Amino acid sequence: MGRFAPQPPLPGGTGQLGQVTLGGFLDELPAGIQVLSDEATAAAARGAAVRWVEPSELEDPTPYLLEGELVLTAGLPFLGPGGTAAALEDYVARLVRAKVCALGFGIQPYFDEVPGELVRACRQQQLMLLQIPQSVPFAALGLHFARLLEAQNLQALRRLSEATGQLLKAVLSARPDAQVLETLARHAPVRALLAGADGRIRAQAGHAPDPDRVAALLGRLFAGSGPRIEVDSFAEPGFGTVTGYPLRSTRDANIGAVLVGADGTLGPVERNIVETAVGLLEALLRQRTSGALAPGQLATGLLLHPETALSGASRQAGAGQDLLAQCTSSARSGTLRVVQGIPAATGAAGRRGAGEGPMRELLQWRRLFDTKLVELTDYGFCAITRLRVDGAATAEAERLGWLLAVSEPAEPSDLPAAYRQVTSLRRQLQTSGRSVRADQTSWSVAGLLGPEAGSMLARQLLGPLLDLEPAKSHGLLRVLRGWLAENGSWDASAKALGLHRNSVRRQIGQVGELLAVDLADAATRAELLIALRFVDPQPAGVSAAAAPHEG
């Protein structure tokens, strides 16, 4: 029978998911089915939800019925003594007490028409009565209802999925409290407000009700404990029914409350959306007040006693290292790495959009590097992680439009040095267009300078030579490069350049005069050699034949 009618429950136990009304069901049925009730009864019954379609030929089917079922019978219980007026009145009365939504009477094989006493009993007790022709089998009605219910369930699931997705996006917005409430009001016919533990309104969607009524309801909410709600009614539009949800910490302390007002009764889908929003707001407040305690304690220690927070043998150092390990999901003795990230290119997908809140981006890097220690900077972001940041993490960051610089492993006390190390690598990210790791990088002064700073150095040190007529400039630069490459040896440089040693001496002397530097100084020669790395050895328009040479 209908005791275990397949109604999918909502998460959180808010009843059936999709609903099929009696009016909607009748509108979809084949022609030939007649409504025998009066207009008032029929109009009132059309809005009732049909829980299931249940054929039954029992004299008393009510022990096996659920509230809201549509009962079908061919009249077998009404043969013989069951067909008297009194018996029919009792039969209908039992159905009414069981809160069935309607009775369907099938023509044939027992009756050629609906018994008049049954019609009168249903009209007297305001039970919807349908006449089912022989051409419409009861099984067809059941199958049709099942298909319609499935369609309603799918529609409700899509609505729930869309609302939940929008609520989750609201949590990651710049104004999560207000955005969650506004999203809730878009997906359910409600007005809502969020109050803090002090009773002050923090955010609201729609106009706020009378402050005194709100204060009284909040007082009742905060006076209790555990998971509970308070229901009230305000004489204001949108607040015919007001439901108060207390928000509590993991230790059952009051951290706020959500009040939701509606003019009518909410359906199961709307109730589920409300409960999802309330749960997200509670999670947000918990995160601010009691969640993720380690980062706040660590920051306090670093601000108050930075000289001992992570180094030495003091009590503060031990506590600081424990907190640092909690923030990075690592052991206290584990090594760490500093990671800096920059957008791969101007306008890259990784660059944060104008007006977008930082929470989404912070959570993105927290997830990728499994750490709570992330800061957003003017160049991009910086993170401290226990991970090695291997190819998979680098590939994921580059897919998001970012390039990474990763330091060598460092102890907690060496993190400032690791930060300086990746800062020096950041220019290499811009010039190479790919992520770099300190433990896989060949360090050089020219490599650290990069082309932009290197070109500025070359212009500053070699400007007088670069400003000469191209052929003359190229010749002197060629001699200077060859002489420096041979560590200032006249004979070796003359042989390498194909010049007489006196010619090399003369031209190096010219270079020293033009640059106004002492070429005998080793530091000066080193700077010039680095600067020459950023000067084209064969500029356009100057051929090798134009360079001064001797046989």
Domain of 201: which CATH number?
Answer: 3.30.450.30
Q: What is the pLDDT of residues 194-222, one digit of tens each?
A: 998 878 888 999 888 888 899 898 888 88
The reply to whether 145 and 243 lie within a common domain is no
Q: What is the pLDDT of residue 545?
A: 42
**Per-residue pLDDT band at 350 (split at 50, 70, 90):** very low
Q: What is the pLDDT of residue 405?
A: 93
For range 2-22, the mean pLDDT? 49
For range 424-445, the mean pLDDT? 77
The reply to whether 363 and 396 lie within a common domain is yes
3-state secondary structure of 69: strand
The reply to whether 409 and 514 lie within a common domain is no
**Which range among 182-186, 287-291, 321-325 shows the weakest confidence by mean pLDDT?**
287-291
Counted domains in the chain: 4
Q: What is the pLDDT of residue 349?
A: 44
In a domain, 376, yes or no: yes
Q: What percent of the chain has pLDDT over 90?
A: 19
In angstroms and rounded to an integer, the radius of gyration of the C-alpha atoms of the chain is: 41
Q: What is the pLDDT of residues 358-383, one digit of tens each?
A: 777 887 888 888 888 888 999 999 99
Q: Residue 223 CB: number of other CB atoms within 10 A?
A: 10
In a domain, 111, yes or no: yes
Phi, psi at 448, each rounded to 5°? -70, -35
For range 282-297, the mean pLDDT? 72
Q: What is the pLDDT of residue 4?
A: 35
CA distances from 172 to 104, 108, 193, 516 (A): 52, 63, 19, 61
Q: Is the pLDDT of residue 94 over 90?
A: yes
| Mean pLDDT for all residues in the chain | 81
The reply to whether 239 and 272 lie within a common domain is yes
The reply to whether 414 and 471 lie within a common domain is no
Nearest one of 44, 54, 55 to 21, comparing CA atoms? 44
The reply to whether 334 and 436 lie within a common domain is yes
Q: Is the pLDDT of residue 79 over 80?
A: yes
CA distances from 183 to 240, 277, 514 (A): 21, 9, 72
The enclosing domain of 520 has a CATH number of: 1.10.10.2840
For range 491-500, the mean pLDDT? 87
The enclosing domain of 111 has a CATH number of: 3.40.1390.20
For range 396-418, the mean pLDDT? 89
Q: Which element (helix H / strand E) includes 34?
A: strand 34-35
178-209 burial by CB neighbour count: b if 16+ within 10 A, else e?
bbbbbbbbebbebbbbbbbbebeeebbbbeeb
In a domain, 159, yes or no: no
Which residue type is seen at 237? P
The reply to whether 411 and 454 lie within a common domain is no
For range 294-307, the mean pLDDT? 68
Cα 313 to Cα 189: distance, rounded to the nearest angstrom: 60
Q: What is the pLDDT of residues 114-169, one digit of tens each?
A: 998 999 999 999 998 999 998 888 888 888 888 888 888 888 888 888 999 999 98
Q: What is the pLDDT of residue 551?
A: 35
List the domain range (segments joined by +) for residue 397: 328-443
Q: Is the pLDDT of residue 69 over 70?
A: yes
Q: What is the pLDDT of residue 468?
A: 87
**Per-residue pLDDT band at 175 (split at 50, 70, 90):** confident
Q: What is the pLDDT of residue 317?
A: 61
The reply to whether 82 and 136 lie within a common domain is yes
Q: What is the pLDDT of residues 500-549, one digit of tens each?
A: 888 888 998 888 888 888 888 888 888 888 888 778 766 544 444 444 44
Where are the alpha helices (H) located in 172-292, listed in sequence order?
176-187, 211-223, 268-289
Q: Is the pLDDT of residue 289 over 80?
A: no
Greater pLDDT, 2 or 264: 264
In a domain, 160, yes or no: no
Greater pLDDT, 322 or 219: 219
Q: Is the pLDDT of residue 402 over 90?
A: yes
Q: Which of 443, 474, 500 is the last residue in one of the domains?
A: 443
Does the pTM exceed 0.75?
A: no
The reply to whether 123 and 180 lie within a common domain is no
